[in-house]
Structure 1
Amino acid sequence: MANHKSALKRIRRNEAARLRNKYQHKTTRNAIKKLRGLEDAKEAATLLPTVVAMIDKLAKRNIIHSNKASNLKSSLTKHVTKLAA
């Protein structure tokens, strides 16, 4: 284990960031699952912008890759438009 003061602080910061990233990622995955499970087009259309914003935030913070974010947003948008039709 590191003995330098800065290294010990870095370990604490990394753990805090890991927990924060894990929480945000899990919350977003649950929101995606909820959106995919919806059958009501109106409710899905109102939830979509919130989920897209959550996905964008994860991509911006490098929690997920930007291409994965694009693929998720695309598939969710297709799902919502299919419900509306």
Structure 2
Amino acid sequence: MANHKSAIKKIRSDERKRLRNRYQHKTARTHIKKLLTTKDKEEAQLLLKVVHGMIDKLTKKNIIHKNNAARKKSRLAKYVNKLVATA
């Protein structure tokens, strides 16, 4: 257990940050799953913009690695481009 006042404060702030990061990461994963289950190309393209923003935000805050983010974005873009447009 921490003895110094600053260490105790650090533990409290780390816990808040951990929960926030966990929430943002889980939300992004949920949106990715939603995108992967979408069969409509127009809807998928709109969702892709949202998901790209979420992934970029996670990368900026060092929640995920930049190469991991690039791989996810690339694979999602490939998936959306393969979808057939429903007219």
Q: What range describes the TM-score normalised by the shorter chain of this pair?
A: over 0.9
For residues 1-85 of structure 1, the aligned pairs below 5 Å read 1-84=1-84
Q: Compute the displacement of 1:64 (Å).
A: 0.3
TM-score (norm 2): 0.95
Q: Compute the displacement of 1:3 (Å).
A: 1.2
Q: Once superposed, which parts of structure 1, at least 4 consecutive aligned residues long, lie more than 3 Å away?
A: none
Aligned-residue Cα RMSD (Å) equals 0.9
CA offsets 1:52-82 (integer angstroms, 9 cap, x no match): 0000000110000000000000000000000
Higher helix share: 1
Q: Compute the displacement of 1:38 (Å).
A: 0.4
Unaligned runs of 5+ in 1: none
CA distance, structure 2, for counterparts of residue 14 and residue 80 of structure 1: 37
TM-score (norm 1): 0.97
The aligned length equals 85
CA distance, structure 2, for counterparts of residue 80 and residue 40 of structure 1: 9
CA offsets 1:2-29 (integer angstroms, 9 cap, x no match): 1111000000000000000000000000
Letter in 1 for 2:19: L
CA distance, structure 2, for counterparts of residue 68 and residue 81 of structure 1: 20
Unaligned runs of 5+ in 2: none
